[in-house]
């Protein structure tokens, strides 16, 4: 069985417990038996081959093999601050940014924003991150950060490279910039765009406005275009 399962609780020495939906999926949907081989990860960057040791009502105990190193350590650390879209487009955004290796998604509070990052929305996004990690093989979870305004982001979020995506900017973002080990922060505005005041304040705080081509992209497309250009692909 090559499926991957998420450990909500970090493993002990050589053993781990799958709980809740993860345990039920393995025992009831896949009808696992003691001795079956699976793969597990705890979101910290490590994956283990594991053997089912015991199946109980709502948990499955597994014995862990040697941990496998993750390739994500080689990726640039990109924080994307995004004025969230709503509904399925938000779900899609989380899935694709997780697959592309974005380190952190920060819900950006803007003048023209349409979706609030409520606690339930953040919980939903965190579940989306786990699902995308299980599917794509990523072992370190993409963090869903606390929402911030552009002003708070500029004041309290140090990053060597600060970009703000804005249509018609003089600087076109063609590909990777900065050193691979630098923290990169990039902001994407809402469907109505950033206001002139927001752009001026961001520029004053050291953000470089960047263009992503002549077309006006939806929020999630712009975020994905930034991620694809800024996160270095592993060798």
- Residue ranges binding ligand SAM (CB under 6 A): 165-167, 188-189, 191, 193-194, 211-213, 215-219, 222
Please identify, using beta-carbon distances, which residue of 22 and 220 lies nearer to ligand SAM. 220
Q: Nearest approach, Cβ of 99 to ligand SAM (angstroms)?
A: 20
Please identify, using beta-carbon distances, which residue of 11 and 209 lies nearer to ligand SAM. 209
Residue from 26, 39, 36 nearest 66 by CA: 39
Q: Nearest approach, Cβ of 108 to ligand SAM (angstroms)?
A: 10
Q: 223 in helix, strand or coil?
A: helix
Cα angle 200, 195, 94; round to 5? 105
Please identify, using beta-carbon distances, which residue of 55 and 188 lies nearer to ligand SAM. 188
Q: Nearest approach, Cβ of 207 to ligand SAM (angstroms)?
A: 11
In angstroms, the CA 42 to CA 158 distance is 27
Please identify, using beta-carbon distances, which residue of 141 and 219 lies nearer to ligand SAM. 219
Q: At 202, phi and psi to the nearest 5? A: -65, -45
Largest Cα separation within the chain, whole Å, is 61
Q: Nearest approach, Cβ of 77 to ligand SAM (angstroms)?
A: 20
Q: Which residues pair with 48 in a beta bridge?
A: 40
């Amino acid at each position: 069985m090559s499926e991957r399962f998420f450990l909500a609780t970090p493993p002990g020495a050589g053993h781990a417990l799958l709980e809740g939906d993860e345990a039920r999926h393995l025992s009831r949907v896949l009808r696992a038996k003691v001795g079956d081989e699976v793969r597990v990860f705890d979101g910290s960057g490590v994956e283990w081959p594991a053997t089912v040791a015991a199946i109980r009502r709502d948990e499955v105990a597994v014995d862990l093999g040697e941990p496998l190193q993750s390739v994500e350590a080689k990726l640039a650390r990109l924080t994307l601050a995004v004025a969230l879209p709503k509904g399925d487009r938000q779900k899609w955004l989380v899935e694709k940014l997780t697959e592309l290796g974005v380190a952190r998604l920060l819900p950006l509070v803007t003048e023209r924003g349409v979706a609030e990052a409520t606690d339930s929305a953040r919980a939903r996004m965190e579940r989306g991150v786990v699902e995308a990690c299980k599917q794509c093989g990523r072992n370190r979870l993409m963090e869903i950060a606390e929402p911030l305004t552009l002003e708070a982001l500029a004041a309290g979020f140090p990053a060597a490279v600060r970009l703000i995506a804005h249509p018609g900017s003089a600087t076109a973002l063609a590909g990777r910039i900065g050193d691979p080990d630098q923290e990169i922060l990039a902001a994407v505005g809402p469907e109505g765009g950033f206001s002139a005041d927001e752009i001026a304040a961001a520029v004053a705080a050291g953000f470089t406005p960047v263009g992503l081509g002549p077309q006006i992209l939806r929020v999630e497309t712009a975020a994905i275009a930034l991620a694809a250009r800024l996160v270095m692909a592993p060798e």
